[in-house]
């Protein structure tokens, strides 16, 4: 404990990583102890990466943060909604930890400043922000333990004004799920296929088509295949004339 306190004191007043420490105090609410963890959380993985480079970017922290985030959000929802069933809790957790939500939260936290600082010359995309946020959760967990990681998720992310939890209770923007339900109800078969995969900004980009009864209904592109499927489903629902803001089943 004494050594940890001494390291935090040194970091706050003598470390050269002034930008990192200042932003972490704003974002996570305390002075970091192991600065290398937080710095690594903002280092994006290169396009071509060998097994040794994986230890020098945020990919492994992202993996850990994803698991930690799911646990913390799950516990938060379990305590917040004692009268709701597993289906409702699962949908709520999915809406909170999905890529778009994390991208939005990270954007509001202005994590792009540190991403740009540690990745000069790299174009910062929304998905990089969400990945970075997951890695940051992992860094907090390794540096300060589960208690502080959960506090960061609940107090800073869920109750920090970045999400409207009440609105999420009733809003359902899972367009792929909506389209699947529509097709099942009307005895139609829906499938997805990657019609093109190409490089953009040195990253993989996917063009996905949604096909209903062997007819291509819509296509969409994104750096993430699942996100492209959601966008294509959104367009297909519009084409079918059945798109609406649906109520989530509680």
More confident residue, 73 or 10: 73
Give the side-chain half-sphere CA count within 13 A for 98.
17
Cα–Cα distance measured from residue 121 to residue 114, given in angstroms and rounded to the nearest whole number: 13
Q: Is the pLDDT of residue 80 over 80?
A: yes
Question: Per-residue confidence at 55, pLDDT binned at 50, 70, 90?
Answer: low
Q: Is the pLDDT of residue 49 over 50?
A: no
Residue pointed to by tokens 């589960």: 146
Continuous segment of H or E residues that includes residue 247: strand 246-247
Dihedral sign for Cα 31, 161, 155, 116, please: negative
Cα–Cα distance measured from residue 88 to residue 44, given in angstroms and rounded to the nearest whole number: 34
C-alpha distances in angstroms, 191 versus 80, 176, 177, 236, 242? 37, 10, 12, 12, 18
Q: Which residues are catalytic?
A: 66, 134
CB atoms closer than 10 angstroms to residue 99: 18
State the average pLDDT for the chain: 90
Q: Is residue 225 a contact partner of residue 208, using CB atoms and an 8 Å limit?
A: yes
Continuous segment of H or E residues that includes residue 172: strand 171-172
Q: Is the pLDDT of residue 157 over 50?
A: yes
Query: Which two three-digit tokens encode residue 192?
Result: 């997805």
Q: Is the pLDDT of residue 21 over 50?
A: yes
Q: Largest Cα–Cα distance in the chain?
A: 67
Average pLDDT (8-34) is: 93
Residue pointed to by tokens 């800073």: 156
Cα–Cα distance measured from residue 56 to residue 32, given in angstroms and rounded to the nearest whole number: 19
Question: Per-residue confidence at 177, pLDDT binned at 50, 70, 90?
Answer: confident
Q: Is the pLDDT of residue 237 over 60?
A: yes
Question: Per-residue confidence at 119, pLDDT binned at 50, 70, 90?
Answer: very high
Cα–Cα distance measured from residue 138 to residue 100, given in angstroms and rounded to the nearest whole number: 19
What is residue 224's DSSP assignment? S
Q: Is the pLDDT of residue 48 over 50?
A: no
Q: Which domains does the chain have, with CATH numbers?
A: 2-170 (1.10.1520.10), 175-245 (3.30.160.20)
Cα–Cα distance measured from residue 158 to residue 44, given in angstroms and rounded to the nearest whole number: 25
**Helix orientation angle between 99-108 and 225-240, rounded to the nearest 10 degrees:** 110
pLDDT of residue 172: 77
pLDDT of residue 245: 54
Helix (H, G, I), strand (E, B) or coil at 66: helix
């Amino acid at each position: 404990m004494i050594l940890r306190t001494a390291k935090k004191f040194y970091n706050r007043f003598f470390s050269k990583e002034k930008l990192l420490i200042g932003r972490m105090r704003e974002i996570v609410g305390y002075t970091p102890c192991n600065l290398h963890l937080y710095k690594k959380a903002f280092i994006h993985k290169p396009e071509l990466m060998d097994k040794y480079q994986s230890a020098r970017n945020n990919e492994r922290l992202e993996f850990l943060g994803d698991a930690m985030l799911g646990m913390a959000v799950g516990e938060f929802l379990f305590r917040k909604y004692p009268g709701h069933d597993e289906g409702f809790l699962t949908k709520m957790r999915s809406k909170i930890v999905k890529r778009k939500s994390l991208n939005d939260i990270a954007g509001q936290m202005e994590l792009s400043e540190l991403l740009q600082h540690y990745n000069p010359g790299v174009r910062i995309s929304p998905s990089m922000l969400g990945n970075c946020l997951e890695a940051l959760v992992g860094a907090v967990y390794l540096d300060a333990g589960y208690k502080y990681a959960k506090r960061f998720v609940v107090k800073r992310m869920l109750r920090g004004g970045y999400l409207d939890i009440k609105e999420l209770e009733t809003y359902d923007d899972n367009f792929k799920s909506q389209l699947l339900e529509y097709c099942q109800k009307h005895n139609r078969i829906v499938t997805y296929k990657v019609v093109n995969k190409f490089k953009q900004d040195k990253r993989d980009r996917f063009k996905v088509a949604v096909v209903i009864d062997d007819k291509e209904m819509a296509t969409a592109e994104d750096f993430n295949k699942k996100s492209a499927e959601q966008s294509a489903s959104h367009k297909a629902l519009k084409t079918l004339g059945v798109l609406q803001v649906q109520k989530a089943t509680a």
